[in-house]
Amino acid sequence: MIIVLMGYMGSGKSTVGHLLSDILDFNFIDLDLVIEEKEQKSINEIFELKGELYFRKKEIEYLQEILQNKSDTVLALGGGTPCYGKNLEAILTSPNTISFYLKTSIAELLKRLRNEKQSRPLLNHLKSDEELLEYLGKHLFERSPFYSKANHVISTDAKSYQEIIEEIVIKLV
């Protein structure tokens, strides 16, 4: 089984994924880390040197490889992964795959991301909280229709990682 975690950056996909994989004794894969490892560059460097289009092509390629995997895996996607190409269709139609949207409010995302702008290539050009808030609102509006097609939606606001994981496990039974 492949458990796919999707949601906007800062929604907790990597942290929840890592903890969930430990509890279930599954492999854990963070798609962004796979891309960095295979490309021998950070996500920031890939965006700077080769551009977003190159990054998205590699993202599609490596996602397809992972979805072919037969071992029990928790897969944390990048925030944009389900919104490009046929990635969402591949996830939803892949046998033995179940997807979860970690839904986080704009207000909560602002709290989580305001101090991480420099390490996130899509945010590092934003100067103020107001710009970040506007960007998050626009992006979430565009991406929510994709995320909402996940098999399950888990609201993450005001919940501990443990509570989120418990909700996921219950839905797996």
Q: What is the pLDDT along the chain (173 residues), one digit of tens a residue?
A: 999 999 998 899 999 999 999 999 999 999 999 999 999 999 889 988 998 899 999 999 999 999 998 899 999 999 899 999 899 999 999 988 999 999 999 999 888 887 776 667 667 777 778 888 888 899 899 999 999 999 999 999 999 999 999 999 999 98
| 70 marked as binding residue | no
- Find the Cα–Cα–Cα–Cα dihedral 162, 165, 167, 173, rounded to 10°: -130
| 11 marked as binding residue | yes
| 112 marked as binding residue | no
| 120 marked as binding residue | yes
- Find the Cα–Cα–Cα–Cα dihedral 134, 144, 119, 49, rounded to 10°: -100
Domains of the chain: 2-166 (3.40.50.300)
Q: Residue for token digits 């970040």?
A: 132
Coil, helix or strand for 114? coil
Cα angle 36, 1, 103; round to 5:
65
The DSSP code sequence of 8-22 is STTSSHHHHHHHHHH
| 15 marked as binding residue | yes
